[in-house]
C-alpha cells in the first residue's frame, strides 16, 4: 500500500519508522511518503493560513497550497490513471471505526491531509470529493491540536490489517470490533506466566488445556465486559449471532449492571449526603 501524507509538520511522523510499521516499510509492504505543505506556497513567509470569512477566532488553512500539493501527489501516480483515496481527519468527520480501517486496508493508495488551526477551507474537500472519494473522519469525540496524531492512529490501525504485517494473521479476526464473532464486542482479559503473581491467580480454566471450554470462557468474558464498559455496543449485538449461552451471560450481565445502578441511586457513596430536594 502507498501512503502519502501532506503536513506542515512532516517530522511529526517519525514514529512511522518504528516497530510494526517500520518493519512493514522496510519489507516493502508499506510505502509512506511525507510532504511539506509549505513547499507549495509562493510567498517569502510560506503562508498556509488566513483569517476566517465571517469572523471568529483562529485561522483557516488556505485552499491553494493544499490543492497544489494534492495535484502534485496525484501527478506522481506510478500507474496511469491511479488515484489515491483522500482522508481528511477532523473532529467533525464520520467516526473512524474498525470497519473503516478494513475499508481503507483494501485501498492500494491513501493520501492524508491533516489540518492545523481551525481546519482547511471547505472547498478543498468539495473539489476532490468525487475524484478522490474524499473522506472526513474523526478518531473520537475530543479535539486534538491538529490532524497529525489522528493520521498516526489511522495509519497504524490500517497497516496492521495488511497481509504480512502481523505475525499471526488470526489475531486480526479475534480483535475487539472485528466483523464476525467479535462484531460489537470488546476482547476479554489476557494472562501470561507466572500462574500466581503477587497473590493474583490466572483463572484456572486457562491452564486446563480444554480448548472448547477456554473459547467459551473467553466469549463469556467478552460479553460481560462489553455490557459493563460499552452498553451502547452491547445493545447493538446481532441476536442472530448469539447462542443460548451468550443470551444467558448477557441477561445476567445486564441484570448486574442495572442492579449496580439501582444500588447507586438508593445509597449515596459513604460520606456524601443526598442533597435535600424541596
Stretch that binds ligand ADE, among 100-108, 143-151, 247-255, 268-276 (CB under 6 A): 143-151
Name the grid cell of 166.
502481523
| Active-site annotation holds for 118 | yes
d(C-alpha 227, C-alpha 217), whole Å: 16
Stretch that binds ligand ADE, among 23-31, 139-147, 196-204, 211-219 (CB under 6 A): 139-147
22 binds ligand ADE (CB under 6 A): no
91 binds ligand ADE (CB under 6 A): yes
65 binds ligand ADE (CB under 6 A): no
Phi and psi angles of residue 206, each rounded to the nearest 5 degrees, phi first: -70, -15
C-alpha to C-alpha distances, 273 to 259, 260, 263, nearest whole angstrom: 21, 19, 15
Residue placing its CB nearer to ligand ADE in the complex, 52 or 188: 52
Q: Which of 144, 142, 140 has the alpha carbon at shortest distance from 114?
A: 144
143 binds ligand ADE (CB under 6 A): yes
144 binds ligand ADE (CB under 6 A): yes
Q: Which of 208, 184, 274, 2 has the alpha carbon at shortest distance from 111?
A: 2
d(C-alpha 253, C-alpha 228), whole Å: 7
DSSP letters spanning 166-214: SS-THHHHTSTT-SSTTTT--------S-SEETTEEPPGGGGS--HHHH
142 binds ligand ADE (CB under 6 A): yes
Q: How far is the CB of 153 from ligand ADE (least distance, A)?
A: 8
Phi and psi angles of residue 121, each rounded to the nearest 5 degrees, phi first: -45, 125
158 binds ligand ADE (CB under 6 A): no
Task: Name which position in 111, 139, 161, 186 contacts ligand ADE (CB under 6 A).
Answer: 139
| Active-site annotation holds for 71 | no
Catalytic residue among 10, 52, 63, 91: 91
- Residues 227, 257 contacting (CB under 8 angstroms): yes
| Active-site annotation holds for 91 | yes
Task: Name which position in 108, 140, 195, 231 contacts ligand ADE (CB under 6 A).
Answer: 140
Catalytic residue among 160, 216, 218, 230: 160
| Active-site annotation holds for 244 | no
Q: How far is the CB of 155 from ligand ADE (least distance, A)?
A: 13
Q: Which of 187, 158, 189, 184 has the alpha carbon at shortest distance from 175?
A: 187
Name the grid cell of 187.
476482547
Residue placing its CB nearer to ligand ADE in the complex, 113 or 234: 113
- Kind and range of the H or E run holding 91: strand 85-95
95 binds ligand ADE (CB under 6 A): no
Kindly list the residues in this chain that would bind ligand ADE in the complex (CB under 6 A).
89-91, 138-140, 142-144, 147, 150
Active site residues: 91, 118, 160, 175
Amino acid at each position: 500500500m502507498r501512503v502519502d501524507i501532506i503536513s506542515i509538520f512532516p517530522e511529526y511522523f517519525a514514529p512511522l519508522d518504528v516497530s510494526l510499521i517500520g518493519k512493514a516499510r522496510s519489507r516493502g509492504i508499506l510505502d509512506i511518503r511525507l510532504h511539506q505543505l509549505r513547499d507549495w506556497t509562493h510567498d517569502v513567509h510560506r503562508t498556509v493560513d488566513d483569517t476566517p470569512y465571517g469572523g471568529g477566532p483562529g485561522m483557516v488553512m488556505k485552499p491553494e497550497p493544499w490543492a497544489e500539493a494534492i495535484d502534485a501527489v496525484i501527478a506522481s501516480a506510478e500507474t496511469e490513471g491511479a488515484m489515491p483515496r483522500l482522508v481528511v481527519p477532523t473532529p467533525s468527520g464520520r467516526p473512524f471505526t474498525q470497519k473503516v480501517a478494513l475499508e481503507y486496508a483494501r485501498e492500494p493508495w491513501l493520501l492524508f491531509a491533516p489540518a492545523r488551526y481551525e481546519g482547511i477551507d471547505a472547498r478543498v474537500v468539495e473539489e476532490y470529493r468525487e475524484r478522490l472519494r474524499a473522506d472526513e473522519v474523526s478518531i473520537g469525540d475530543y479535539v486534538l491540536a491538529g490532524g497529525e496524531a489522528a493520521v498516526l492512529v489511522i495509519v497504524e490501525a490500517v497497516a496492521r490489517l495488511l497481509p504480512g504485517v502481523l505475525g499471526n494473521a488470526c489475531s486480526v479476526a479475534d480483535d475487539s470490533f472485528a466483523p464476525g464473532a467479535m462484531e460489537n464486542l470488546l476482547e476479554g482479559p489476557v494472562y501470561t506466566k507466572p500462574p500466581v503473581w503477587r497473590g493474583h491467580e490466572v483463572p484456572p480454566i486457562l491452564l486446563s488445556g480444554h480448548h472448547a471450554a477456554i473459547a467459551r470462557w473467553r466469549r463469556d468474558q467478552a460479553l460481560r465486559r462489553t455490557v459493563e464498559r460499552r452498553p451502547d455496543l452491547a445493545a447493538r449485538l446481532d441476536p442472530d449471532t448469539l447462542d443460548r449461552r451468550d443470551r444467558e451471560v448477557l441477561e445476567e450481565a445486564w441484570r448486574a449492571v442495572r442492579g449496580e445502578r439501582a444500588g447507586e441511586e438508593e445509597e449515596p457513596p459513604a460520606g456524601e449526603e443526598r442533597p435535600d430536594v424541596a
